[in-house]
Amino acid sequence: MTSTTENANLCGLNRKDFQTTINGKKTDLYILRNRKGFEVAISNYGGAICAIMVPDKDGKVANVVQGFDSIQALMETDEIYRSTLIGRYGNRICKGQFVLNGKEYHLATNDGPNHLHGGKKGFNVRVWDAKQMGPRALALNYTSPYGEECFSGEMKVTVEFTFTDDNELVIEYLATTNKKTICCLTHHAFFSLSGIANPTATIENQICEINSDFYLPIDATSIPTGEILKVEGTPFDFRKPKAFGLEIDADNEQIKNGSGYDHNYVLNKREEGELSFAARVTEPESGRTLEVYTTEPGMQLYTANFCTGKVGQHGATFPKRSAVCLECQHFPDTPNRPYFPSVVLRPEQQYKQKTIYKFGIAK
């Protein structure tokens, strides 16, 4: 059930502040509450996660995701991907161009010379049909029409959010198409494990571990060069836990290209599509931890290098490097790199993906 009063929610968000009508479709706020009483708040506008309320080592509950406190704030922000669903294609495509079935496609170039996150009006600004399935689960559905943002095929997408009693936010994706197309879905949650504040603290002292031996280097426009390089001996080696800030400003061409970390990791997998451990982040002062598990072959590590201190929920501000994004996905620019894991979706197939964000306390 969704709470109807602000005081009933740990997050302090008022459902009425998220209710409006956009192009004939109603927006709302949905509260997922587990048996421990902790919460996740999600809008059906862009699938935006507005709050994740979990405890620290002393039992103090805080919001650990950067979000907004009204539908107007969600719609009017110029940081349109903050903690939203991403599609049809997560991450970048070089010059917005690729060839599929012998046909050349030209997408919007909305990130310098390149295509980013589904275009000018991707899944992050669409109103999804929502159905809450009990106190802990929400299903969002959206049909992306043929030609939307210049993609081929009509694509039907379902994203299910479940907040378990173990403080796991489980996100499951399902997509089908009536014509051969490309599909790469993810969620762009901005995690601030210390809790959002004014200003929200830097993530540079947080300890990160990533289950990856290889990463994808990028050019000056953040497009993969096509190489797949070892993390060993580079600032990108998180195989053993280390602080983000240790090498985030290293004298390294790749760090400079991303203005910090903004790179895709090739996750270690025993077999394609297995649900396996991807990453762990620990916030040493609060003791909060975040573990990531996914079926996806890659994960984009982004350390909020381009955030500018905009105001979000309850007056919290989000400066540079005040969040970490762990976007589980296929690789950037895959349509132009045939040796990357394929993102082609055919009418006889289903796109499936599962990612788990598990919140805990360091032992």
Positions annotated as catalytic residues are 188, 327
Q: Which H or E run contains 23? A: none
Tokens 């802990």 sit on residue: 136
- Name the β-bridge partners of 175: 157, 351
Any bridge partners for residue 144, and if so which? 155
Does residue 33 contact residue 136 with C-beta atoms inside 8 Å?
yes
CA distance 239 to 254: 18
DSSP character at residue 341: P
- DSSP assignments along 2-28, one per residue: ---SGGGSTT---GGGG-EEETTEEE-
**Residue 272 neighbours by CB distance under 10 Å:** 8
Spatial contact of 141 and 129, defined as CB atoms under 8 Å apart: yes
Helix or strand (DSSP H, E) at 137: strand 137-144
Token readout for 155 is 């694509």
Copy the structure tokens of residue 9: 């929610």
Which residues, 6+ apart, have CB-to-CB distance to 128 below 8 Å? 44, 45, 46, 47, 85, 140, 141, 142, 159
Q: Are 253 and 229 in contact (CB under 8 A)?
A: no
Whether 278 and 326 have beta carbons less than 8 Å apart is answered as yes
